Structure 1
Amino acid sequence: MVKLDSLNIVPQSIFIKGFDTSFYYVDAGRSLLFWKKNLLADSIEIVYRVFPFKLDAQVRHLNYDSIKGNYISQPVIFNRNSKGNNSTSLFDFGPINYNGSFGRSLSFGNSQDAVFNSQLNLQLSGMVGDSIQIAAAISDNNIPIQPDGTTQQLNEFDKILIQFKKKNWEVNLGDIDLRQNQNYFLNFYKRLQGISYQQENRLGKNGSNKLLLSGAIAKGKFTRNVFNGLEGNQGPYRLMGANNEIYFIILAGTERVFIDGELLQRGEDQDYVINYNTAEISFTPKRMITKDKRIQVEFEYADRNFLNSIFYASNDVVLNKKLKLNIAAYNNSDAKNSPINQQLDARQKQFLANIGDSTQNAFYQVASKDSFSISKILYAKSPHPINPFMDSIYVYSTHPDSAKYNLNFIDVGMNKGNYIPSFNGANGKVYQWVAPINNLPQGQYEPATFLVAPKKQQLVTVGSEYAINAQTMLKTDVALSNYDANTFSSKDKNDNAGYAAKFALYRQDKLPRKLQLNSLMGYEWVNEKFRPLERLRSVEFARDWGLNILPTPATEHLPKASIELRDEQNNYVQYALDGYLRSDNYKGARQTLQHNHTFNNVQLKTFLSLVNSNTPFDKGYYFRPTIQASKFLPK
């Protein structure tokens, strides 16, 4: 018996010069040669082929030797089996693939001091240990601005994202984007700095479970601007924050822009361009702006008043391909004891505690004493001219003995302030006090600063989809929200909680001639105090029902029924009947008829809508027909 090789021999590939198979026998699996007869030769020549691997090698999913060096008590060591590190590069990640650039630069000029700049752009991919996949993208240009909003694709300057994957789980660290749209009442898109964890597991043969956990620091706050365009003015239009801020930075890529309910595309060759750093939007000649254009802009902007944290968890369960369950919880809260840009003293905190949820009136009067200078606009205190027992007023003064106060006037709204602009001085506007009429203020300015109160918003949803049979499905959603507009205050807490629910029954029936009949019955109820994270319905939902774009909150009831006939070519006709009832005694009913048909490369679309509304003040109807015909030209 002779051992020929450590690898497995390819069967029928062995050849021994001068000897046929009557002299020997070969065990190809074990690479052994057995002689059947005695040999007289002192040497022989054997030729054979082998497989590039050992077929009978032992393979294990896990063994002690593969994990003993990866305990959490030891630091992660890349290329552990390397006997030496002969690399001379700046970065050495062992078996992990990496590419990018790293730079340092010094800039100076005749009108500026020397500035030291740094740039880093690094991408990583590979394996950590024996089964964890890593991918990372790190970029840092040391500049605190957002990219230009003139193209459809954005290249961000500063971003760190590290991802770990192994089979059915995934961990993301750094700058993460969290987008959720499977829940009707919990629909949002957030740009965060933190961690997210996802895991998917099988539950039996036909079931599955998907878990998502995320904890992060929010980069910004969501808000919505609604305004009409100016005749012939393409922009720029300055956007405003949720607290009427005018100087802020928009988070790149978070905006959604609508004109007359149509979603626009960003880009110089598209519909609009946006300057994220100045919060200004301009429209291209492709979208001519008139006074009748209804413009809506939704975006997130950097709000640095308080440290803001977000926690989100969701779990989706599928059982027997018939039942789907989903539960999700969201918490977004300002850390009231961790202010960032807005530093509050004890008096200001007490002021916020006293106003309750009326945070729109959080104008805190501030008057700082200053040294006299003829170039400054200063004011003197004067007794109240009508009631001496009331607080003093401020009067513009140039007298060195009385001009002691440097004031900052802000716009508090018409008939909410006691000061108006008087004249323009050399160094700014001068304001004067005006007497109220019938206790109604006649001005719109006050020497004050607006205090932003810390907020907390929580939302929990439970949803389900149940296939009653092959043709019928029931879908339900229930939600609970808790919104505290001022966590400094213990007042007005009875209106924090709100509820909402929605259900829909879908049915599909097959008809002769390859037709399909789709029917729907549904009902939605939203409590007046319920607060969704973002816009709940379509951008022009209120206008479609003859209401203001931003109607006052009210308890809403929305019944719905529809029937649709569709063929194999997706030609269809649909009739729907909707109701809309509000607790402020608004009642509306809407009938819609939709039709879509394609023949001979010509597509005809028809949409007819008739809304009848009834309020305590008037009755009306709104009829909107839309017909669109298009022809597809051959290439």
Structure 2
Amino acid sequence: MLIFLRNAILLCAFLLPFYGKAQHSGLRTMTVAHADTIQLDSLSIYPNSFDILCGDEVFPTESYQLNYAGSEIILLDQCADSLQITFRVLPFDLSSPLYARDTSIIYSKEKGMRERFLITSTETNADIFGGTGLNKKGSISRGISFGNKQDLGVNSTLNLELSGQIAPNLKLLASISDDNLPIQADGNTNKLREFDQVFIQVYNDELKLIAGDFWLYKPKGYFLTYKKRAQGLTINYKWSEQKGKVWKTQASGALSRGKFQRQIVPGVEGNQGPYRLRGAQNEPFIIVLAGTEKVFIDGKQLERGQSFDYVIDYNTAEVTFTTRNQITKDSRIVVEFQYSDQNYARSLVQSSTSYKTKRFEFWINGYSEQDARNQTLQQELSRAQKKQLAAIGDTLNLARASSIDSVGFFENQNLYKLVSISGYDSVLVYSIQSDSAHYRATFEQVGFGKGDYVFSNYNALGKVYEWVEPISGISQGDYAASRTIITPKQRQMLTSGISIQLTKRLKLETELAYSKVDQNTFSRFDSQDDKSFGAMTKLTGDIPLSNDSLPNWTLRTTLEVEARDRNFSPIQQYRSVEFDRDWNTRNKGYEGNQVESKVGANFMNRNYGNINVQGQQFLIGGDYQGFRGFTNGKWKQNGFSATWDGSYLSSKTTQLNEFVRHRMDISQSLGWFKLGFKDDHELNRFTTDILQPSSYQFFDYQVYLANSDSIKNNYRIFYRERTDDRSDSTTLSRAAKARSIGAEVNFTQWKNQKLNIVTSYRELVISNSNLINSNPENTLLGRVDYQLKAMKGAISLNTFYEIGSGLELKREFLYIKVNDGQGVYTWIDYNADGIKDLNEFEIAQFADQASYIRVFTPSSEYVKTYSNELNQSLYIRPERLWASKKGFLKVVSRFSNQTRVRIKRKTNIFNGNAAFNPFFSNIDDTSLISTTSNLRNTLYFNRTSSIFGAQYVYKDLQSKTLLASGFDSRLLKSHEVSIRWNIKKQFTFETKGSVGDKASAADYTSGRDYSLSFYTIEPSFIYQPSTTFRITLDGRVSEKTNDALLGGEVANVLEFGSTFKFNQAQKGSLLGGIKTVIIEYDGESNSALGFEMLEALKPGVNYTWNVGYQRSISKNLQLSIQYNGRKSEGNNIIHSGGMEVRAFF
């Protein structure tokens, strides 16, 4: 055994540095199978950093108990899926003993006279970094896992944070990790926690050098605009000369982490989302880079967050709007974002330099981003395909190729064989035979009649497709075994400009720009349109309208001209988000050189506001010429407030166009409230010899009552009406009318309460269905957020309730093979056919079985739903009031109750109960599309007593998930009573009894339907003679009975065993246990029901045992060893274990 341990330690020490997968900067993320108690880490958990998901749903806090100091979680409720846990750790263990002196050095008579006078060194181990002045925290670990039923597994983590002075005038800031699987922050908060920033930064007042992950922001100038995430090297340097002269320079070389995309999303009446974002090549499934998005509605930028305007799922690229913004058919949604594009490695080079004096400023900026055409990532290019791309120039629709790839046979992927059928060669047929299943293919949806394959079915590894024979030479499928080849691209821009203060009140600014866009760097053809130029000049003058030193009125005049070539292409959009709509050029395809000119006068009053007037002209070659008058401003005086903008556009193309629009918001304060009027009007006429169908008019107005600025509690009530007119070729006729009413209340100044209400109701009436493509719709949105603390904290209530409407995505999932012991699921071939069917995967009960993870993949199918959500917690603690009382009140004070409810449900019918009542209908209701329901009530008696305590727990957990192939449902209801009795100081008796029902249903596959009734009794006896040793005797009696209509199977479980734990301060701990589990079962063992009944064991006598040892080798080094084993009747013993060495900084 000693030789084995020695060899294992040597193997760990010498081999593990070459392998790794880690968490970043104290961040831990893990996917685990369900167990009663899970040790998460050896370091304490940072409060407020803990997140836990059951599948893709938040696991409710009432379903577990978390020991932050000991980094241990106790699961109180079952999770029907895998648990995904994310948290950060502190750089120390708060549960370990803390003392100034080790008590073992205190002299005692037992040590003898020699020890009394012996001088012993008390020096501690040297710091790993040699005692530098850096602040540091983190750890590095190397570990192995092994067993006779699994392959050798290797794991590694490196997490290090450094900060401090490294030289007299130089500081260091570093976050280092070997994590290659970065975690995206959740997009439901206003501020993001960037988990995946790994960098080293050296800086002082003049210099900043970053190696690793960093952001690049827009430099000085007009044309060049970007906000990029990059990974590489960037340096900033600033130095000052005499008389206020300042030089700034930045240079960067990096890998670009994202690709820019701007998407116009049409709003759908009554649909708050989710709205799917797509890539620049219309890729349907992309990953948005966290924090790069800008979301606009009607030209106004929104704020991210559940309490603000929208939330975004970065991993599925879906945006959902909150009740603060009701989405209608009229909502103009624009989203700008960056997404991960893994077709090629993409490099980025950037440089900017500026020089500034009191009256003069100069800048020059360069930017180049290009795909490495010979370094593909997620697509492979053959020599023939490269030649194909070299020949097509910029005609990208010709960049297509067969997706059939000869890979040989291997498991855990859908493979095909090539056959000839009815004279057609190279037909793909799904196969699991190792002698013929040698081909892999991806299938692209090309439209019916354009492909030869159709979708056949799902299995655990993904979709399977089937060939259909053409009829009379005409294809009968809608999928093709082909793929679009993404060409390597290059984008460059160079800008240079100056700004001169000509006089005290006159300023000139001008900039020149060069852009280059190569759509296909493999090809030399079509390169004549790659390069282009742009220029901008702006003259601004301020004229005081009085002789005062601070004049009340100032006139600011502007003259601005912008010109650019027809092929000029910016890195990111620098114009306003609705520029093309303002000029009626959106999606019109006008071509030619562009010239935009503006002349304006802005009358500014330093006390009340401003009035701005502009004349504008916009030309696009010979295709378009437009003239526009524009005004905007704001005014606030004596309780009166107004903001407005308006414009008149006259444009000429092949047709004449007049576009009149204005928006205004005026209000008057009347004591404690203000009365307001707001309107939005557009009249857009396109005429030739008739009034074109694109012509329209709408008038949208609202009146509102709101609190005045002096009132701290906020409220707003409004009535809104909108009319839409459309062209019938001769005139604009009424097409639709909508009425809305709503309110927003935010009371935060109450003493012990907070209340926030947002609600709106909209009714859309279609007047003429021939003129508008919409249906009548009634939409109700609402949200209530209420918090209460009353009676000295004896009653604590938090309630969140929300109703709305939107879409529910049909999900697909597949199972992916990972290293043994690092997954969540196990595959059991129930029908022995060698095919991994969806109904053959179970959550692994033992680590050596966990060889698969389940990945949900979004589909392109959505279902219209009406939703409601309720989150409520109620905590009643009478001891806050009556702990010191006597008699009846004293007895009552020993009780406390905690209720937590979290229900989120979506239905496809709109009526009072179904749409608004979170408790309405059961899980079998066919109108119920999806639900996640967690209800837990706990009644405590003597909760804080160290002698005797009891509690009663009622749990009701339900879930229903919409999949592309059907529904998956889970249900658990139980009543549980627990009693704790400390008989004496060393002896404790605990017992727990529960009774309830557990059910599963899936209509997309067979063999997963069951409905169990169960009862369980679990007594335990604990003996703890000291703080260093504890031993427990455990027992369990359980019976599970399946519904008679589903088979009536019965399982009886008898379990008994013992666990122990031995601790020694500053040395380590040893823990272990052994259990005997006797199971009588009269059903089929090799089934999903059998797996649930038998708890991953076998009928008959089963044995399980485990031993764990942890020791602190030195101050900074810790060794952990664990071993698990089990033996079932008729099976061989299964061994598994692991070893880890961790160093702390």
Pair in the same fold by TM > 0.5: yes
Residues 322-401 of structure 1 mapped to structure 2, 5 A cutoff: 322-367=359-404, 380=420
| Structure 1 residue 177 displacement after superposition | 0.5
Structure 2 stretches lacking a partner, 5+ long: 1-122, 459-463, 670-707, 713-1145
**Of 596, 609, 613, the match for 2:651:** 613
SS at match of 1:419: coil
Percent of residue pairs identical: 33
- 1:136–1:162 contact (8 Å) kept in structure 2: yes
SS at match of 2:481: strand
Give the distance between the partners of 1:475 and 1:610, measured in 2 at CA.
28
Q: Deviations over 1:13-47 (max 9, x none)?
A: xxxxxxxxxxxxxxxxxxxxxxxxxxxxxxxxxxx
State the match for 1:497 in structure 2.
531
Give the distance between the partners of 1:134 and 1:602, measured in 2 at CA.
54
State the match for 1:633 in structure 2.
709
Alpha-carbon spacing, 1:219–1:432, altered in 2? closer, same or farther (3 Å):
farther
Structure 1 stretches lacking a partner, 5+ long: 1-85, 384-391
Amino acid at match of 1:327: I
Alpha-carbon spacing, 1:168–1:510, altered in 2? closer, same or farther (3 Å):
same
| Structure 1 residue 598 displacement after superposition | 0.6
| Structure 1 residue 298 displacement after superposition | 1.5
| Structure 1 residue 466 displacement after superposition | 0.9
State the match for 1:592 in structure 2.
630
Alpha-carbon spacing, 1:231–1:215, altered in 2? closer, same or farther (3 Å):
same
Give the distance between the partners of 1:396 and 1:101, measured in 2 at CA.
52
- 1:379–1:397 contact (8 Å) kept in structure 2: yes
State the match for 1:266 in structure 2.
304
Q: Deviations over 1:508-549 (max 9, x none)?
A: 011126310100011111111111101131111111112225
Moved more, 463-472 or 229-238: 229-238
SS at match of 2:555: strand
SS at match of 2:198: strand
| Structure 1 residue 138 displacement after superposition | 3.8
SS at match of 2:305: coil
Residues 523-534 of structure 1 mapped to structure 2, 5 A cutoff: 523-534=561-572
| Structure 1 residue 184 displacement after superposition | 1.2
Amino acid at match of 1:574: N
Residues 223-234 of structure 1 mapped to structure 2, 5 A cutoff: 223-234=261-272
Give the distance between the partners of 1:589 and 1:432, measured in 2 at CA.
59
Alpha-carbon spacing, 1:269–1:103, altered in 2? closer, same or farther (3 Å):
farther
- 2:559–2:599 contact (8 Å) kept in structure 1: yes
Whether 2:628 is the aligned partner of 1:623: answer no
- 2:198–2:212 contact (8 Å) kept in structure 1: yes
| Structure 1 residue 379 displacement after superposition | 6.8
Q: Deviations over 1:219-241 (max 9, x none)?
A: 12111222213332222222211
State the match for 1:458 in structure 2.
492
Amino acid at match of 2:450: N
**Of 144, 165, 168, the match for 1:127:** 165
SS at match of 2:251: strand
Structure number with higher helix proportion? 2
Q: Deviations over 1:268-326 (max 9, x none)?
A: 1111111112222222222222233222222111212212111111110124x222111
Give the distance between the partners of 2:608 and 2:487, measured in 1 at CA.
52
| Structure 1 residue 420 displacement after superposition | 6.9
State the match for 1:447 in structure 2.
481
- 1:459–1:481 contact (8 Å) kept in structure 2: yes
**Of 555, 559, 571, the match for 1:521:** 559
Amino acid at match of 2:498: S
State the match for 1:199 in structure 2.
237
- 2:394–2:525 contact (8 Å) kept in structure 1: yes
TM-score, length-normalised on structure 1? 0.75
Whether 2:209 is the aligned partner of 1:177: answer no
| Structure 1 residue 154 displacement after superposition | 1.5
| Structure 1 residue 404 displacement after superposition | 11
Moved more, 111-120 or 620-629: 111-120
Give the distance between the partners of 2:258 and 2:191, measured in 1 at CA.
21
Alpha-carbon spacing, 1:551–1:211, altered in 2? closer, same or farther (3 Å):
same
Alpha-carbon spacing, 1:627–1:421, altered in 2? closer, same or farther (3 Å):
farther
Give the distance between the partners of 2:166 and 2:632, measured in 1 at CA.
56
| Structure 1 residue 115 displacement after superposition | 8.0
Aligned residues: 532
Q: Deviations over 1:561-619 (max 9, x none)?
A: 00011112251111101111112511111111223111124321121111112111x21
Give the distance between the partners of 1:190 and 1:156, measured in 2 at CA.
14
State the match for 2:1039 in structure 1.
none
SS at match of 1:499: strand
**Of 450, 457, 462, the match for 1:418:** 450
Alpha-carbon spacing, 1:206–1:348, altered in 2? closer, same or farther (3 Å):
same
- 1:118–1:141 contact (8 Å) kept in structure 2: no
Amino acid at match of 2:400: F
- 2:294–2:302 contact (8 Å) kept in structure 1: yes
Give the distance between the partners of 1:474 and 1:288, measured in 2 at CA.
44
TM-score, length-normalised on structure 2? 0.43
Give the distance between the partners of 1:466 and 1:117, measured in 2 at CA.
60
Alpha-carbon spacing, 1:191–1:425, altered in 2? closer, same or farther (3 Å):
closer
- 1:461–1:480 contact (8 Å) kept in structure 2: yes
| Structure 1 residue 331 displacement after superposition | 1.2
| Structure 1 residue 434 displacement after superposition | 7.7
Amino acid at match of 2:197: K
State the match for 1:314 in structure 2.
352
Amino acid at match of 2:561: Y
**Alignment root-mean-square deviation, CA:** 3.7
SS at match of 1:613: strand
Alpha-carbon spacing, 1:173–1:367, altered in 2? closer, same or farther (3 Å):
closer
Alpha-carbon spacing, 1:575–1:404, altered in 2? closer, same or farther (3 Å):
same
Q: Deviations over 1:62-113 (max 9, x none)?
A: xxxxxxxxxxxxxxxxxxxxxxxx76366436343324443769999xx999
State the match for 2:274 in structure 1.
236
State the match for 1:40 in structure 2.
none
Give the distance between the partners of 1:87 and 1:624, measured in 2 at CA.
77
State the match for 1:255 in structure 2.
293
Amino acid at match of 2:267: G
**Of 328, 331, 349, the match for 1:293:** 331
Moved more, 461-470 or 153-162: 153-162
Give the distance between the partners of 1:491 and 1:150, measured in 2 at CA.
46
Residues 54-93 of structure 1 mapped to structure 2, 5 A cutoff: 88=125, 91-92=128-129
Alpha-carbon spacing, 1:422–1:248, altered in 2? closer, same or farther (3 Å):
closer
